[in-house]
Amino acid sequence: MTPYIQNETDYLAEKFMILEYHIAHASKIALLKIQSWKFAVKNPEVGTRYQMAAEDMVRQSLMSFVPNSHVLSEEGFYFRPIAN
């Protein structure tokens, strides 16, 4: 009789792939926002409303403050204190 051993390799690999996809997607969106902002700043033909909208978009999404407790909570620090 073979002993029952729970193998989570497939689960961990799938979770890793999903996280990598989300990180790549978020990075691509951030890059597009930065490129849009740079375009608005460099070209004087672009209207001031577009420049203001691009600056607000970058400021609200990329330069927003996140408290340390939120990051620790999202990473599961408070749920598994022994594993930390």
Residue 36 lies in a domain: no
Say if 74 falls within a structural domain: yes
The count of C-alpha atoms lying within 13 angstroms of the C-alpha of 56, restricted to the half-sphere facing its C-beta, is: 6
59 in any annotated domain: yes
Q: pTM of this prediction?
A: 0.54
Establish if 20 belongs to a structural domain: no
Q: Total domain count for the chain?
A: 1
Domain contains 30:
no
Range of the domain at 66: 46-84
Q: What is the pLDDT of residues 18-33, one digit of tens each?
A: 989 998 898 888 888 8
pLDDT tens digits, one per residue of 37-63: 888 888 877 778 888 887 887 777 766
* Distance set, CA 18 to CA 23, 26, 45 (Å): 9, 12, 41
